[in-house]
Amino acid sequence: MLGLGITGYLSWERLTGGSPACVIGGGCATVQNSEYAQIFGVSLSYLGFITYALMLASALIPGFWGRLLGLVTSVGGVLFSLWLLYAELFLIEALCPWCMASLVVMLLALAVAVARVVRAGDLTT
Protein backbone atom coordinates (compact mmCIF):
# COMPACT_ATOMS: atom_id res chain seq x y z
CA MET A 1 0.00 0.00 0.00
CA LEU A 2 2.87 2.37 0.75
CA GLY A 3 4.35 1.77 -2.70
CA LEU A 4 0.97 2.47 -4.30
CA GLY A 5 0.86 5.74 -2.40
CA ILE A 6 4.34 6.80 -3.50
CA THR A 7 3.92 5.88 -7.15
CA GLY A 8 0.33 7.09 -7.20
CA TYR A 9 1.47 10.53 -6.05
CA LEU A 10 4.31 10.62 -8.60
CA SER A 11 1.95 9.42 -11.34
CA TRP A 12 -0.59 12.10 -10.45
CA GLU A 13 2.08 14.80 -10.61
CA ARG A 14 3.20 13.44 -13.98
CA LEU A 15 -0.36 13.34 -15.35
CA THR A 16 -1.17 16.87 -14.22
CA GLY A 17 2.17 18.33 -15.28
CA GLY A 18 3.05 19.26 -11.71
CA SER A 19 6.34 18.86 -9.91
CA PRO A 20 6.61 16.48 -6.96
CA ALA A 21 7.16 18.14 -3.60
CA CYS A 22 10.78 17.53 -2.75
CA VAL A 23 11.67 18.59 0.78
CA ILE A 24 15.08 16.91 0.71
CA GLY A 25 17.60 17.69 -2.01
CA GLY A 26 15.29 19.22 -4.59
CA GLY A 27 16.00 16.75 -7.40
CA CYS A 28 12.48 15.32 -7.77
CA ALA A 29 11.38 17.49 -10.69
CA THR A 30 14.75 17.04 -12.39
CA VAL A 31 14.45 13.26 -12.18
CA GLN A 32 10.75 13.15 -13.11
CA ASN A 33 11.31 15.33 -16.18
CA SER A 34 14.45 13.56 -17.39
CA GLU A 35 14.56 11.29 -20.41
CA TYR A 36 15.48 8.43 -18.05
CA ALA A 37 12.18 8.61 -16.18
CA GLN A 38 10.39 6.71 -18.93
CA ILE A 39 10.73 3.58 -21.00
CA PHE A 40 9.21 3.42 -24.47
CA GLY A 41 7.33 6.63 -23.66
CA VAL A 42 5.78 5.23 -20.47
CA SER A 43 6.62 6.93 -17.19
CA LEU A 44 8.41 4.77 -14.61
CA SER A 45 5.95 6.10 -12.02
CA TYR A 46 3.09 4.49 -13.98
CA LEU A 47 5.01 1.23 -14.28
CA GLY A 48 5.79 1.37 -10.57
CA PHE A 49 2.12 1.84 -9.75
CA ILE A 50 1.20 -1.17 -11.88
CA THR A 51 3.96 -3.22 -10.25
CA TYR A 52 2.75 -2.37 -6.74
CA ALA A 53 -0.84 -3.18 -7.78
CA LEU A 54 0.34 -6.58 -9.03
CA MET A 55 2.19 -7.15 -5.74
CA LEU A 56 -0.99 -6.36 -3.83
CA ALA A 57 -2.91 -8.77 -6.06
CA SER A 58 -0.26 -11.43 -5.45
CA ALA A 59 -0.85 -11.15 -1.71
CA LEU A 60 -4.53 -11.91 -2.30
CA ILE A 61 -3.94 -14.88 -4.62
CA PRO A 62 -3.48 -18.05 -2.58
CA GLY A 63 -0.96 -20.75 -3.34
CA PHE A 64 1.94 -21.10 -5.71
CA TRP A 65 0.69 -18.65 -8.36
CA GLY A 66 0.29 -15.84 -5.85
CA ARG A 67 3.79 -16.45 -4.51
CA LEU A 68 5.23 -16.59 -8.03
CA LEU A 69 3.51 -13.35 -9.06
CA GLY A 70 4.83 -11.64 -5.92
CA LEU A 71 8.36 -12.86 -6.55
CA VAL A 72 8.43 -11.93 -10.23
CA THR A 73 6.95 -8.47 -9.75
CA SER A 74 9.17 -7.64 -6.79
CA VAL A 75 12.33 -8.77 -8.63
CA GLY A 76 11.32 -6.67 -11.64
CA GLY A 77 10.50 -3.72 -9.41
CA VAL A 78 13.85 -3.89 -7.63
CA LEU A 79 15.73 -4.11 -10.94
CA PHE A 80 13.90 -1.07 -12.36
CA SER A 81 14.43 0.84 -9.11
CA LEU A 82 18.15 0.05 -9.11
CA TRP A 83 18.39 1.16 -12.75
CA LEU A 84 16.69 4.44 -11.83
CA LEU A 85 19.05 4.91 -8.88
CA TYR A 86 22.00 4.41 -11.23
CA ALA A 87 20.50 6.92 -13.66
CA GLU A 88 19.91 9.42 -10.85
CA LEU A 89 23.47 9.14 -9.57
CA PHE A 90 25.44 8.99 -12.80
CA LEU A 91 23.29 10.25 -15.69
CA ILE A 92 20.85 12.77 -14.25
CA GLU A 93 23.03 13.83 -11.32
CA ALA A 94 20.02 14.51 -9.11
CA LEU A 95 18.36 12.39 -6.44
CA CYS A 96 14.64 11.99 -5.85
CA PRO A 97 13.78 10.97 -2.27
CA TRP A 98 10.43 9.60 -3.51
CA CYS A 99 12.25 7.24 -5.87
CA MET A 100 14.64 6.19 -3.13
CA ALA A 101 11.72 5.53 -0.77
CA SER A 102 10.13 3.40 -3.48
CA LEU A 103 13.38 1.43 -3.81
CA VAL A 104 13.32 0.69 -0.07
CA VAL A 105 9.68 -0.44 -0.30
CA MET A 106 10.56 -2.63 -3.32
CA LEU A 107 13.42 -4.23 -1.39
CA LEU A 108 11.11 -4.95 1.53
CA ALA A 109 8.52 -6.41 -0.86
CA LEU A 110 11.21 -8.64 -2.36
CA ALA A 111 12.19 -9.86 1.12
CA VAL A 112 8.54 -10.69 1.85
CA ALA A 113 8.13 -12.46 -1.51
CA VAL A 114 11.24 -14.56 -0.94
CA ALA A 115 10.08 -15.38 2.60
CA ARG A 116 6.69 -16.53 1.22
CA VAL A 117 8.40 -18.83 -1.28
CA VAL A 118 10.84 -20.24 1.28
CA ARG A 119 8.16 -20.72 3.92
CA ALA A 120 5.92 -22.57 1.46
CA GLY A 121 8.78 -24.82 0.43
CA ASP A 122 8.50 -23.93 -3.25
CA LEU A 123 12.27 -24.20 -3.61
CA THR A 124 12.47 -27.81 -2.44
CA THR A 125 12.33 -30.67 -4.87
The residue segments making up the domain with residue 70 are 2-120
Q: What's the pLDDT at 20?
A: 87
Question: What pLDDT is attached to residue 116?
Answer: 93
Please report whether residue 18 resides in a domain: yes
In a domain, 105, yes or no: yes
Q: Do residues 71 and 117 lie in contact, with contact meaning Cβ atoms separated by under 8 Å? A: yes
| Average pLDDT of span 31-45 | 90
pLDDT of residue 124: 64
* Number of domains the chain is built from: 1
Whether 66 maps to a domain, the answer reads yes
pLDDT band at 72 (very low <50, low <70, confident <90, very high): very high
Q: What's the CA gap between 41 and 85, in Å, rounded? A: 19
Predicted confidence (pLDDT) at residue 79 exceeds the cutoff of 80: yes
Q: Assess if residue 76 is contained within a domain.
A: yes
Instruction: Identify the CA nearest to 19 among candidates 3, 32, 8.
Output: 32
35 assigned to some structural domain: yes
Is 111 inside any structural domain?
yes
CB 24 within 8 A of CB 69: no
Q: Is 94 a domain residue?
A: yes
Q: What CATH number is attached to the domain comprising 91?
A: 1.20.1440.130
Instruction: Give CA 30 to chain center in angstroms.
Output: 18
The answer to whether position 125 is within a domain reads no
